[in-house]
Chains A and B, each alone.
Chain A
């Protein structure tokens, strides 16, 4: 969360690419299906792919690999329901 202060466009693009790849690979692991990486609009909760436990694992990955802290009640599940929304939220937060 502190290493993104640079405003260079390149750095930001790199950063976004990193967030995207970290989240997609983490989701693939947690949900146990590659579908999440193919369909970014997939509703993870509605399809039973992500639950509280999976969410905790995702937050851990975000903490360990991206250095971002997400509190359990920070995001409503509706606003974090698809891979695309998760990535978008994190990009906004990293900025």
Chain B
């Protein structure tokens, strides 16, 4: 068997199976779309992000990140993780921020050096703040955010390819 025959075998299989069988073709196309949807919703997804709110971590424009959906609804999220969630302020848009407090934690309600008032994060909520405190709409404005809004955790920066890196939570417990 020549190399050509060997390589063209899967295409011959697809041709024999689907050419002249429109219903099979439509069914297979739909199933492929549904499988990819499930993968993007429950597995991993990639997205471009923009905005100045996460500045040292993510650039203002042109960065793409890899998001693991295993952390949806805040499962296994720790303080210091970067999460993607449905916006509280603008429904329909997604936001990326850093988690600064989980349920039961005491957090600073405003930016450091302003009021100094601490509040406790209620049950099922978390406290999210952008890394760039001056240009971020976050929990300091809309308060504790329900964990159910969290869609996933940002695990890596993928694009630009030269700046690719895993986003590792570098917070450690104080000794």
The answer to whether A and B interact is no
